[in-house]
Amino acid sequence: MLCKNFEKLFAKQALQLHYDVPDIKEIILAGDLAIVRLVWTLQAQAGDDKDTTQEGAIDIFRRGADGRWSIIRMNAFGFRPNKVLD
């Protein structure tokens, strides 16, 4: 099912997707782990069809030996489907 959804999505002509800088709601630090609760805003356009939607998310980061943070898990959920991507 997931692959068929990707096929449908990538078949859209001139599809443009843009995520704004996320709206960070909360950061919880515990040693080398960080849990970040945020909201992404997605702008999608295909031809004359445009829609802007928001997606809540929780990302889990781990700090590596070099001190850099990397996402190790993420979970995002749309508040409503984006009409352009349906």
Give a yes or no: residue 86 inside a domain: no
CA distance 67 to 51: 38
Give a yes or no: residue 60 inside a domain: yes
Provide the pLDDT for residue 11. Answer: 74
DSSP string, 38-69: EEEEEEEEETTEEEEEEEEEEEEEEE-TTS-E
Count of structural domains within the chain: 1
Give me the CATH number covering residue 28: 3.10.450.50
CA distance 19 to 30: 28
Provide the pLDDT for residue 71. Answer: 96
Give a yes or no: residue 10 inside a domain: yes
Give a yes or no: residue 85 inside a domain: no
Provide the pLDDT for residue 1. Answer: 56
Provide the pLDDT for residue 65. Answer: 97
Provide the pLDDT for residue 2. Answer: 61
Give a yes or no: residue 57 inside a domain: yes
Per-residue pLDDT tens, the chain, 86 aa: give them.
567 766 776 777 789 999 999 999 999 999 999 999 999 999 999 989 999 999 999 999 999 999 999 999 999 999 999 999 88
Domain that holds residue 45: 2-78
